[in-house]
Amino acid sequence: MDIRRFKNLNAATVTNAVLLQPIKRPFTISSSTAPQNLKPENRKSSKLKLEDEGAPVKPGGAPIPVAFDQILLNKKKWLSSILSSPHLNTSKSKHLLNQLSPHHFDTIFLEIYHLIDPTIALKFFYFASTSAGFKFTLRSCCILIHLLVSKNLDSAARLLLIRLIDKKLPVIFNHNNDGSMHKEITVVLANLYLGPDKFNAGIRTFDILVHVYASQFNSLGFDVALDVFRNLASRGLFPSFKTSNFLLSSLVKADELEKSYEVFYIISSATLPDVYLFSTAINALCKGGRVNDAAVLFKKMEDVGIAPNVVTYNNLLHGLCKEGNLEEAFQLKEKMVNNGVNPSLVTYGVLINGLMKLKKYDEANFVLKEMSDNGHVPNEIVFNMLIDGYCKIGNVTKALKLKDDMLSQGISPNSVTFNTLINGLCMDNQIDLAQQFLVEMVSKGLCINPGTFGSVIHGLCKNSRLDSALYFTRLMISRNLRPNDGLLTTLIHGLCKNKKHSEALKLWYMLLDVGIAANTVTSNALICGLCEVGNIQEAIMLLKNMLNRGVGLDVVTYNALIYGCCKEDKLESGFNLKEDMIKQGISPDIVTYNLLIHGLFNKGKLDEAVALWHECQRNGLVPNIYSYGVMIDGFCNAKKVEEAAGFFNMLLRHNIEPNSVVYNILIKAYSRNGNMIEALKLHNEMRSKGISPTCPTYSSLIHGMSITGHVDGSKHLLDEMKNEGLQPDVFCYTALIGGYCVLGQMDEVRIVLQEMSSYNVRPNKITYTVIIDGYCKLGRMKEASELLSEMIGKGIDPDSVTYSILTNGFCKEGKVEEAFNLWDHMSHRGLKLDEVAHTSLVHCLPQASENADQN
């Protein structure tokens, strides 16, 4: 849409636009009034009017006798005297009220209202309703409202109307339906105003009526306020432009856009709206995405001689920028300047925001410079828009510079500034500065939104700064802000991973105490963490609390506990949990069975493991790759490789692709048995299926080749894995070293150790033990002893196997004293020799006794 098109719009285009029916010229009277030429037959006398609206008549419409009229006249004088006195006489008032019905009062009140003091009348009304239990007619209340407004007592009139609507003032309505109360009030007020007895209130009474329903009682819904406006308009009564614009603006703010269009239509059908009504209507159209219609209305107001003001221009500019029509927006801004309307701070802010959304940062900075050159100091809103834009594209450096610019111009960054910067810093992984800003926000008492807390906590968790993450989480909870479930799960998982289980538990119970219990996923993360470290009792206690507090349990919860039980060798407890989950209506899944089958294999209960495998299938569960892996691994560990191979073939028959883990299990089993033909066959099969061998694959093969005396093959495999980009680990090197030790090639062992050092692969306890065994078998006890000292010096504690090998070596070489010294050293450390080493020591006892005798 091009602003230049406005000049070429013809009358037909304008007339056909929505809301743009031909707008009437202003009324000859400045305020809306009643229809001017009422027919004589439609104008009733005052007396007739009173009878129509409740004057006393006999049943059937017969007039009341003259005697009654005299009584009524006396009461009229009495009431007039009370209401025209400078002070309210409550005793006389109460006596009179006992003799008047609501309708009698209504008749008299309409006749004498011009003689009374409205403030005394108001006190009389409140006294009568609260102390005498008197109910007034609606018309009586409306007469008083008109009277108060006519005497410029608008606040009192407004309060009376509010009490009337709020039913705090006992009033007789013709209809008891709450939904029609506003209509009845509107009709009575309008009829009184249009009747023969004129009030001097003008239309201010209707301003108050519309304003009250649009503000004080907007909880009833804007349908009510709009209905009041419609009823008044149908009688030719229109609130002032100020009140009409208040209603229009209220509807726009509440996103009641269709209603706002109707209000503007009604006004423009009767009179020519002012610049404020036009501006609000343009804003409504832009907010509703009808920017083209807004532009047409803008042209229309110019055509009828209403000059747009800066607000009008800003509203249309905002609509154009929101639609991304920046070219048209800048054309409109140029037109604005040419028409002598100076752009405001809002004008520049709208343009900058539009440019930032389209990532036109250079242009935005140009507008910012123009803004400053024209004497407008950017406020925090403009700065925040720029900071937000730069943060979104990851240019946090520029955003931080803008914050410094704010401070240099005496503008304090507000909560929006900090929240935006913190989120940007977290996205840029500048957690230190993000944390610093968050602490600053806390110290300054600024409003911190949950997303900002979440960004910092997540960043701290990602960087393993869990103490700080926990501090901010507790602070967040203390402010009644609930961390999202994903964040809580991440934090609790991180705490458990870093062995801070007690802190994770405290957090879980803290959430429970403040009524924002962690959900099932978060609770499962804690249960898993507790089970990982064997704290089964605490995990089960947590499970009971989850049940008691209504936190949902699922199959993951139970599987975590079953895993913990199996890990701690409490297989029976694991099976009990399986039965318990079934009672809770939770069906065991394939993971449940995998865990329990694995537990049975670890106990050596192979038959029961197979039985559970069949139960799993009977229950309709389909074994997955992990299920087959458990079965294959279980049989391999039990040295039943053929049975394991049977399950491997079954896996293939069911078209399940084996992974590297399954291949490695079988390769390890075959290699351990020295069946290198099958092991290498599986290795080649892996390659043919595109499954890359891993370090465990090669360590098993190297070990197998070494123990079968094919050390050259082991060395070839080590070189092969390096060529494939795999760095041999300590297990691969140890397997190769073992092969050289078996052959007594200790020089080759030293070469391998040097290679390990060059790759920064450190020998472990097994490596040292294998090499010590090699030296012992060759009778080279000095080198073996030196290795033991080196091992201890590097902080690696020898175990009973290491000491047993060395002790046995000393005994074989007749170094009895060294053997017994080593035994003493072991005893002090609480270690025991194995049977072979112990036997060797026993055989050395006679020699030791002989040596002692010689000494």
The whole-number pLDDT of residue 545 equals 84
Reading the block at residue 95, the tokens are 């006596």
Contact (CB, 8 A) for 82 and 88: yes
In a domain, residue 110? The reply is yes
832 is in which domain, residue-wise? 763-855
The pLDDT-based confidence of 833 (bands split at 50, 70, 90) is low
pLDDT digits (tens, 9 = 90+) for 203-223: 899 999 999 999 988 888 899
The pLDDT-based confidence of 842 (bands split at 50, 70, 90) is low
Cα atoms in the Cβ-side hemisphere of radius 13 Å centred on 783: 17
In a domain, residue 52? The reply is yes
Q: What is the mean pLDDT of the chain?
A: 86
pLDDT digits (tens, 9 = 90+) for 814-828: 887 887 888 777 777
CATH code for the domain of 836: 1.25.40.10
pLDDT digits (tens, 9 = 90+) for 459-501: 999 998 999 999 999 999 988 888 989 999 999 999 999 999 9
pLDDT digits (tens, 9 = 90+) for 384-430: 988 998 898 888 999 999 999 889 888 899 999 999 999 999 999 99
Contact (CB, 8 A) for 350 and 321: yes
Domain end point (choices 217, 238, 259): 238
Mean pLDDT calculated for residue range 182-196: 90
The angle, 0 to 180 degrees and rounded to 10, between the axes of the packed helices 816-828 and 800-812 is: 160
* Cα separation, 728 vs 730, whole angstroms: 7
In a domain, residue 585? The reply is no
pLDDT digits (tens, 9 = 90+) for 615-673: 999 999 999 999 999 999 999 999 999 999 999 999 999 999 999 999 999 999 999 99
Nearest residue to 717 via CA among 758, 762, 753, 671: 671
Percent of the chain residues topping a pLDDT of 70: 88
Mean pLDDT calculated for residue range 105-124: 91
In a domain, residue 89? The reply is yes
Mean pLDDT calculated for residue range 582-611: 94
92-101, 529-538, 622-631, 801-810: which is most confident: 622-631
Contact (CB, 8 A) for 278 and 315: no
In a domain, residue 127? The reply is yes
The whole-number pLDDT of residue 844 equals 61
Above 70 in pLDDT, residue 3? Answer: no
Contact (CB, 8 A) for 741 and 773: yes
Reading the block at residue 657, the tokens are 């692709």
Domain end point (choices 206, 238, 270): 238
In a domain, residue 150? The reply is yes
Above 90 in pLDDT, residue 774? Answer: yes
Domain end point (choices 238, 271, 298): 238
SS (H, E, C) 351-419: HHHHHHHCCCHHHHHHHHHHHHHCCCCCCHHHHHHHHHHHHHCCCHHHHHHHHHHHHHCCCCCCHHHHH
Percent of the chain residues topping a pLDDT of 90: 61
Above 70 in pLDDT, residue 148? Answer: yes
In a domain, residue 404? The reply is no
pLDDT digits (tens, 9 = 90+) for 577-593: 999 999 989 999 999 99
In a domain, residue 105? The reply is yes
Domain count, the chain: 2
Above 60 in pLDDT, residue 12? Answer: no
Mean pLDDT calculated for residue range 772-783: 92
Mean pLDDT calculated for residue range 283-308: 94
The whole-number pLDDT of residue 770 equals 94
The whole-number pLDDT of residue 4 equals 36
Q: Between the CA of residue 841 and those of 596, 784, 833, 854, what are the distances in Å?
A: 44, 18, 10, 20
